[in-house]
Amino acid sequence: MKVTGRVFHAGPCHSCGMQFLLLPSDERELVAWLCHELGLKLLLSDALAGGHPATASDPIAALPESLPLQARPFQPRGIYELTFWHPGWGVNNWDPQRVPDTRDHVADILTSGSAAQAGVDAATLLDPARTPVLRLRRCVLRDDGSLEPAGVQGMALPARYQPAEVLRLRAKTERWLRRGSTRFAGNHPHLTRESSHPAPVYARRHATAWIHSGGRFYF
């Protein structure tokens, strides 16, 4: 089975920290490390069955074969995020002792609408703000042919509300990605938009080959 789209709206996006360039071949290497070496499970969707998430028995085969395209308003064009979970973490059981804000209420409304449209009960979805997870925000192929960088996230919460174990795993994953990457400066000639505060981007080996063959990235 393949990873499918997410119904749950995770609320405001929190900083991903380091930026990475990964093609699907690079993603397969990362997923092999996370699942086969660290014991994480790749979620096929955010739907729960009997309180349990659907996980991929073969995580490599379950991965999307191509990168998502630049989204249109209310029109996703691919799988934009991969979610990883450990059975020891539980589901929808994390209480961050945080007062919900307006953005959280908007996310709840969007989730309820999406769930109704998908014909599921919002209460039967995995909530990334209440479930310890590790998430990969995938690279996006923009309309101009450039790549928008990927990033590693934990839960859909500010870092100070997340379990220490999730934060350690996120940092460990970023270190693993950096070790096998080529660093490109924020003012690299293959950058399609120069930031006023250039930051490095770390490209995994297949993405690096793509850049050296003329590929461009957006930051």
Q: What is the pLDDT of residues 53-71, one digit of tens each?
A: 999 999 999 999 999 999 8
Low-confidence ranges of the chain (pLDDT < 50): 8, 12, 105-106, 109-111, 113, 115-116, 118-119
SS3 182: strand
Say if residues 56 and 62 touch (Cβ distance below 8 Å). yes
Instruction: Please tell me the predicted confidence (pLDDT) of residue 124.
Output: 74
Its sign, for the CA torsion 16, 20, 24, 27, is: negative
Q: Rounded distance, CA 156 to CA 151, Å?
A: 13
Asked if 196 and 162 count as a contact pair (C-beta separation under 8 A), the reply is no
Evaluate whether 89 touches 75 at the Cβ level (below 8 Å): no
Phi, psi of 49 (to 5 degrees): -125, 115
Give the distance between the most distant pair of CA atoms in the chain. 51
- Cα distance between residue 129 and residue 172, in whole Å: 21
Q: How many helices (H) and strands (E) does the chain have?
A: 5, 10
Beta strand pairing call for 52-55 and 201-203: unpaired
The pTM of this model reads 0.85
- Distance, first Cα to last Cα, the chain: 33
Contact (Cβ atoms closer than 8 angstroms) between residue 95 and residue 155: no
pLDDT given at position 168:
97
pLDDT reported for residue 110: 47
